[in-house]
Amino acid sequence: MKTALVCGVSGQDGAYLAKLLLDKGYKVYGGSRDAQMSTFRNLNRLGIQQDVHLVSINIHDFRSVLQSLLKIRPDEVYNLAGQSSVGLSFDQPVETLESISVGTLNLLESIRFSELPIRFYNAGSSECFGDTGATAADENTPFRPRSPYGVAKAAAFWQVANYREAYQLHASTGILFNHESPLRPERFVTQKIVSTARRIANGSQEKLTLGNIDIARDWGWAPDYIEAMWLMLQQDQADDYVIATGQTNKLRDFIDVVFGTLGLQWEDHVRSDSTLFRPTDIAEGHANPQKALRNLNWEAKHKMEEVAKLMVTMSKS
């Protein structure tokens, strides 16, 4: 039986990853800053909280991380922790940088110091690329991040690459484009759209107020992307991979599918407010995930339209 430690197990990706690993027969430890106080709502929604060994780990604290690794002795460590909202990063840039880059560094250094044969996965982000226009980003596309979140993720990416090359750690980064599910909190725009649309369909007279609805993104289904994370750590050689559907759609198209699924015309219920625009934003996000298909035999099973419909039908009323 393999043992895995999932840092950030309470989030969307952490919960789905814990379920995948349990289904594959792993002993799963779920790390949270305070496991005694966290509700682990997502683990409960998936019905797996009782099967995950919950542990308190503060990845800001090198000693906490090292002690946890020496005690658990995991075969695989997945770093999904840290501040996860692009929008919030403009309000909390210091917290964002520290939680992502320092946390990743503590994990890498603890693995190196422990001398355990741990395979390490780091959650990267398409935000590292910034605005590539109509060019589809791949693993060789330069980073030009346009948010504090993107800057932090870029720093963590290069830390992983450095430890892989300098210390021969089996350390990989998945450069994930947007991936959604009903486990998303409402501060993410896709869940805000779904939650508001469902309330309107149930009789609410409210309006859905959004920022720029002409941005375009590559939206995928989170459970698909979790499988790619696992596959990276099963390879003989560690490497970095762009994980995406390869299809890009405007936010207004996502809105249209959500409201249409509920029998509504979105134009009657949605307005755009320029005060909600970000200081800097990415107009379009395009991805080339061919390396993942070639090396991991992975490709996204769900594209944007199906993702939007699943979020509506699977979300709680």
Using one digit for the tens of pLDDT, what is the confidence trace for 223-249?
999 999 999 999 999 999 999 999 999
**Average pLDDT taken over every residue of the chain:** 93
| pLDDT at 37 (0 to 100) | 64
Is 76 one of the catalytic residues? Answer: no
Alpha helix positions (H), 52-184 = 62-72, 86-91, 93-97, 103-114, 148-167
Judge whether residue 203 has pLDDT over 70.
Answer: yes
Residues forming CATH 3.40.50.720 domain(s) in the chain: 3-179+220-243
Catalytic residue among 127, 180, 195, 241: 127
Across the range 200-204, mean pLDDT stands at: 94
- For 185-217+248-285+303-314, CATH number out of 3.40.50.2300, 3.90.25.10, 3.30.360.10, 3.30.70.980 equals 3.90.25.10
* Cα angle: 111, vertex 117, 123; to 5 degrees: 55
| Catalytic annotation, pick one of 29, 78, 121, 149 | 149
* pLDDT at 279 > cutoff 70: no
User: Which pLDDT score is estimated for 33?
Assistant: 74
Query: Residue 317 — very low, low, confident or very high, per pLDDT cuts 50/70/90?
Result: very low
Q: What is the CATH number of domain 3-179+220-243?
A: 3.40.50.720
Tell me where in the chain the CATH 3.90.25.10 domain(s) lie: 185-217+248-285+303-314
Q: Summarize pLDDT for 38-91 with one digit per residue, the tens.
A: 779 999 999 999 999 999 999 999 999 999 999 999 999 999 998 777 778 788
Identify whether 109 is a catalytic site residue.
no
206 belongs to the catalytic site? no
Mean pLDDT score, 90-103 = 89
CA gyration radius, the chain: 19
- Please indicate whether residue 94 or residue 72 has the higher confidence score (pLDDT): 72
**Residue 185 token pair:** 């909190």
User: 18: which 2 tokens?
Assistant: 């814990």
More confident position, 134 or 71: 71
If residue 229 lies in a helix (H) or strand (E), which one and from where to where? helix 222-232
Q: Characterise 112 by phi-psi region: left (phi > 0), alpha (psi -120 to 50), beta (else).
A: alpha
- Mean pLDDT, rounded, for 151-175: 97
Share of the chain above pLDDT 70, in %: 96
Provide, rounded to the nearest whole percent, the portion of the chain with pLDDT above 90: 80
Query: What is the pLDDT, as a whole number, of residue 36?
Result: 67
In the predicted model, what is the mean pLDDT of residues 305-310? 96
Q: How many CB atoms lie within 10 A of CB 177?
A: 25
Assign 261 a pLDDT band (cuts: 50, 70, 90). very high
